[in-house]
Amino acid sequence: MGLPKQLLMGNEAIALGAVEAGVNIATAYPGTPSSEVLGTLATKAKEYGFYAEWSVNEKVAMEIAGGAAYAGAKALVAMKQVGLNVAADPLMSLAYLGVQGALVVVVADDPGPHSSQTEQDTRTFAKFAKLPVFDPATPEEARAMTVAAFELSHRHGMAVFLRPTTRVCHACAGVELGELRPGKVQTAPGFQKDPRWVIFPRLSYQRHQWLEQQRELLSEEFSAAPWNFVLPGGRLGIVTSGVSYLYVREAVAQSGVDATILKIGTPYPLPERKIREFLDRVDAVLVVEELDPVLEEGIKQVAFAAGRVLPIYGKRTGHLPYAGEYNVGMVLQALQRVSQGDDAVQLESAPAAELPELPVRPPVLCAGCPHRASFYAAKQATKGLDAVFSGDIGCYTLGNAPPLSMLDTCLCMGAGITVASGLQLAEPGRTHLAFIGDSTFFHTGVPGLLNAVYNRIPMKLIILDNSTTAMTGHQPHPGIGKTAMGEAVQPISIEDLVRGCGVEFVRKADPFNLKDAVAAIKEAIAFAGPAVVIMERPCIALFKKTSVYAVDEDKCINCGRCLRELGCPAMAKAEKPQIHATCYGCGLCAQVCPVGAIGEVAL
Partner 1 sequence: MSGFSIIIAGVGGQGTVLASRVLAQAAVAQGLAARTAENIGMAQREGSVQSHVRIGQPDFGPLIPAGGADLMLAFEPAEAVRSLGILKPGGVALVNTAAIHPVTVTLGKSRYDEAEMRRFLQEKAPGVKFVPGTELAVEAGNIKTVNVVMLGAAAGLGILPFGPEVLLETLLAMIPAKVLDVNKRAFELGMGAAGV
Q: For binding to partner 1 (CB under 8 A), which residues are involved?
A: 5-7, 32-33, 114-115, 138, 167, 170-174, 243, 246-247, 249-250, 253-254, 327-329, 352-353, 355-366, 395, 398, 401-403, 471-472, 563-564, 567-569, 571-573, 581-582
Q: Least distance in Å: CB of 326 to partner 1?
A: 9
Other C-beta atoms lying within 10 Å of the C-beta of residue 217: 12
Answer yes or no: are the C-beta atoms of 480 and 491 closer than 8 Å. yes
**Interhelix angle 272-280/294-305, nearest 10 degrees:** 70
Please say which residue, 172 or 425, places its beta carbon nearer to partner 1: 172
CA–chain centroid gap for 273, Å, is 34
Angle CA(112)–CA(117)–CA(119) in degrees, nearest 5?
45
Q: Least distance in Å: CB of 225 to partner 1?
A: 21
Q: Least distance in Å: CB of 329 to partner 1?
A: 6
- Phi, then psi, of 159 in degrees rounded to 5: -65, 145
Please say which residue, 117 or 467, places its beta carbon nearer to partner 1: 117
- Phi, then psi, of 259 in degrees rounded to 5: -130, 150
Answer yes or no: are the C-beta atoms of 413 and 440 closer than 8 Å. yes
- Per-residue b/e over 93-118, b at no fewer than 16 CB within 10 Å? ebbbbbbbbbbbbbbbbbbbbeebbe
CB half-sphere exposure, 241, CA atoms < 13 A: 28
Q: Least distance in Å: CB of 184 to partner 1?
A: 32
Which residues have a Cβ under 8 Å from the Cβ of 318 and sit 6 or more positions away? none
Please say which residue, 448 or 577, places its beta carbon nearer to partner 1: 577
Please say which residue, 247 or 376, places its beta carbon nearer to partner 1: 247
Beta pairing class for 577-579 and 571-573: antiparallel
DSSP letter at 492 equals: P
Q: Least distance in Å: CB of 28 to partner 1?
A: 16
Please say which residue, 114 or 181, places its beta carbon nearer to partner 1: 114
Please say which residue, 101 or 139, places its beta carbon nearer to partner 1: 139
Q: Least distance in Å: CB of 364 to partner 1?
A: 5
Answer yes or no: are the C-beta atoms of 17 and 146 closer than 8 Å. yes
How far is CA 42 from each of CA 21, 106, 247, 439, rounded to the nearest angstrom?
16, 15, 33, 18
Q: Least distance in Å: CB of 601 to partner 1?
A: 17
Among the listed residues 67, 130, 137, 79, the one whose alpha carbon sits nearest the alpha carbon of residue 103: 67
Other C-beta atoms lying within 10 Å of the C-beta of residue 350: 7
Q: Least distance in Å: CB of 164 to partner 1?
A: 13
Residue 532 amino acid letter: V
Answer yes or no: are the C-beta atoms of 542 and 474 closer than 8 Å. yes
Please say which residue, 249 or 319, places its beta carbon nearer to partner 1: 249
Q: Least distance in Å: CB of 35 to partner 1?
A: 9
Distance CA 368, CA 233 (A): 58
Q: Least distance in Å: CB of 541 to partner 1?
A: 11
Please say which residue, 437 or 530, places its beta carbon nearer to partner 1: 437
- Phi, then psi, of 267 in degrees rounded to 5: -65, -20
- Phi, then psi, of 401 in degrees rounded to 5: -70, 145
Q: Least distance in Å: CB of 73 to partner 1?
A: 30
Helix, strand, or coil (residue 78): strand
Q: Least distance in Å: CB of 460 to partner 1?
A: 27
Please say which residue, 357 or 386, places its beta carbon nearer to partner 1: 357
Other C-beta atoms lying within 10 Å of the C-beta of residue 601: 12
Please say which residue, 247 or 313, places its beta carbon nearer to partner 1: 247
Please say which residue, 253 or 425, places its beta carbon nearer to partner 1: 253
Please say which residue, 114 or 184, places its beta carbon nearer to partner 1: 114
CA–chain centroid gap for 346, Å, is 37
- Phi, then psi, of 328 in degrees rounded to 5: -60, -40
Distance CA 369, CA 345 (A): 50
